[in-house]
Structure 1
């Protein structure tokens, strides 16, 4: 008998993008929550205080929600951390590479923060958690199109080593990202301390520039099913992303989008997974999507493995990049090549598709033909054009 979770994944017409939050890394690597990280940083900077984090809370004011409070505190921390560092206090260990970065103008606070996330490693896991990761690695080969994450660490790169990585909004804007076999680290990465979205100023800049990111995410959401992992439904990042997307769509298109989104929420209080509708409300709009509350990711990943791609994604990604270059550069002669249909068969099980188009007879590539040449070929028959499939 098919489970409710199997039914959710059976409705997916193609492999999904995974949208992964900090709860995912915490599950397998024991990383700190945001509150725990802020406590650690406060103790590092104000080691002589009996109440390091409360003292910061007092300075920024009362009745501020955590998603705004912590960035405000982080701004104070960065200024104080750097002031101590440049006054000669040995507040953290600096490598030779770190010294070069500091000389280039990178904030010592950001370098220290990057160090914390660079040290993230998988813990010794119980069998069920190890099985989850094993299943996800299997899914990465044929059941996942790409990854979007707000995480700073590099744990996902260990699970998806063949995926290209794009860091921050700038990488998305000036790259040829295709949505296939790629990891989009929209809040930065520890490999680039300057990219980390952490302080109040960082979040304000992120908001100012988010229009392109929203449009990019919206295009991804329309092209792929989206599976959210490692977030709470109340997470401010998720609320903000959904709110931005809701502003762009009417009720009909919101309902269409909702059918493509599955939100997985980890819940230890439940003994078995439960599939229910869940509503996100934004002013006069509502996004009702599918939520799976589960005490384990095992049934999620086992159902995910059953979702198969229709095409070899390495090939599809290459074609999409070549088409982008063709349109962008208007010089397709040496880019789009005649290919064998055998390359479309990923595992020997998929019936080959065919690509058909006009060519001028040079089989090393395709040229864009003038419309009059096509007319002459069809009507006058004095312009020979070969059709290949």
Structure 2
């Protein structure tokens, strides 16, 4: 059996489409972005810092290195030429001691997604056409939202808790985003706070892990931050669902030696079996994802859920009547399998009354009233074809109507 057939058959086990869990390896692959340590070295050099000295002071711990570097930025940035006009542009974000470093990193990452590497354009286009329900990521750059532009974005753990989300057509940036500099999980203090909230994040992600296949891209099987999140989720996972969890988690490990992608099994957290894909290219993976069947596009489904949620919680349609032609359904494939409509109650009821009367059959009095007052709203052809045959049953003539 080919790799694509194996992966396609695996996805058919699920009623929901996949979620992607995306790490920094994807940004390095498609944007040529630095890894975390390279990024810290870059900004250490901008203020003339000695990275080797800082690393030794932090015992090689990247989170501690970031904390020390943030302090150096706080001391030097305000009177340095590298600040440029950022004090004016980021005034509202200059709130904490580590804000200058986070602003510098965010400013750098904001535009990096515009420079995707030419050699991977075909792969990126396939990724953009993937039929997925959502993305979870620890990346700070804006690459994912640039190619899934119709997905809603939730930044940080607080963004997940304080905003309305429906688990469809959404990007969860759990380590923050360059669009909100102070949201970046960067220093040891940031990670300490993140860990305190980990149980809440894990409970939020639990439903996604239960209902969807989760494809990990751009991570190592030994990534401590991801293993920590997975450990929290496993602890929350119902014992009766543990067997299913091993089917839901798919790790994609980049390997230069993999001539063809291979779907096998592996173990993480010492006891948790997962599906493992080793590949040097993601083309075939994204080809499978782009061929996943969806009844309607994910972003339209999210809009429907959002509007229906609004109607349920407010019990108020706000007098809105939205009409959409079938041919205008954005990205719909083939004929839609269902239609959801809502709007002005009076108009809906009127339509229901007319439809109901058409099913039951109008009376002679109804037709006379409509002829005189034009109040029935009937379709002439429907009256002749559907109503008259019932009215003239058993009648020699219909002159007395």
CA pair 83-276 structure 1, distance change in 2 beyond 3 A: same
Is 2:273 aligned against 1:271?
Answer: no
Query: Once the two structures are superposed, what CA deviation does each residue of 1:205-241 show, in whole Å capped at 9, x if it has no partner?
Result: 1111222211111111222221111111111221011
Q: Relative to 1, partners in 2 of residues 1:41 and 1:103: Cα closer, same or farther, differing over 3 Å?
A: closer
Q: For residues 337 and 231 of structure 1, do their structure 2 counterparts lie closer, same or farther at Cα, with a shift above 3 Å needed?
A: farther
Q: What is the TM-score of this pair, normalised by structure 2?
A: 0.76
1:44 corresponds in structure 2 to 46
For residue 57 of structure 1, report the CA deviation from its aligned partner.
2.4
Question: What is the count of residue pairs matched by the alignment?
Answer: 344
Q: Distance in 2 between matches of 1:85 and 1:197?
A: 20
Q: 2:167 aligns with which of 179, 204, 215?
A: 179
- Which of 352, 355, 358 is the matching residue for 2:337? 352
Query: Aligned with 1:179: secondary structure?
Result: coil
Cross-structure match for 1:4: 3
Matched, 1:325 2:310: yes
| Bigger CA radius of gyration | 2
Query: How much has 1:337 moved relative to structure 2?
Result: 8.1
- Out of 73, 88, 91, the residue aligned to residue 97 of structure 1 is 88
Structure 1 residue corresponding to 2:22, chosen from 20, 23, 31:
20
Distance in 1, matches of 2:303 and 2:309, equals 10
In the alignment, the residues of structure 2 paired with residue 116 and residue 109 of structure 1 have an alpha-carbon distance, to the nearest angstrom, of 11
| Aligned-CA RMSD value | 3.1
Other structure's SS at 1:170 match: helix
Deviation at 1:326, TM superposition (A): 4.7
Change (3 A) 1:311 1:92: same
Query: Do 1:22 and 1:150's aligned partners in 2 also have CA atoms closer than 8 Å?
Result: yes
Counterparts in 2 of 1:280 and 1:102: CA distance versus 1, 3 Å: closer
Structure having the higher helix fraction is: 2
Matches of 1:104 and 1:201 in 2, distance apart? 15
Q: Distance in 1 between matches of 2:19 and 2:107?
A: 28
Please show how residues 45-64 of structure 1 align to structure 2 within 5 Å.
45-47=47-49, 52-61=50-59
Deviation at 1:169, TM superposition (A): 1.1
* SS of equivalent residue, structure 1 residue 300: helix
1:93-133 CA distance string (max 9 Å, x none): 33363352366557212111212212313546454x22101
2:151, 2:237 → 1: CA distance?
31
**CA distance in structure 2 between the partners assigned to 1:56 and 1:347 by the alignment:** 54
CA contact (8 A) 2:93 2:182 kept: no
Aligned match of 1:71: 63
- What is the rounded CA distance, in whole Å, between the counterparts of 2:116 and 2:340 in structure 1? 48
Deviations 1:14-33 (A, max 9, x none): 32111111110110111001
Instruction: Report how far residue 248 of structure 1 moved.
Output: 0.8
Which string of whole-angstrom CA distances, capped at 9 and with x for unpartnered residues, describes residues 288-344 of structure 1?
111100000111111111211133434421332234335544x25559989999699
Q: Which residue of 1 aligns with 2:151?
A: 163
Counterpart CA distance in 2 for 1:211 and 1:203 is 14
2:221 counterpart of 1:219: no
TM-score relative to the length of structure 1: 0.78
* Structure 1 position 138 matched with structure 2 position 129: yes
CA separation of 1:76 and 1:318: change in aligned 2, threshold 3 A: same
Q: Which runs of no fewer than 5 residues in structure 1 stay unpaired?
A: 366-389
| Structure 2 gap ranges (5+) | 350-401
Asked if 2 retains the 8 angstrom alpha-carbon contact of 1:334 and 1:364, the reply is no
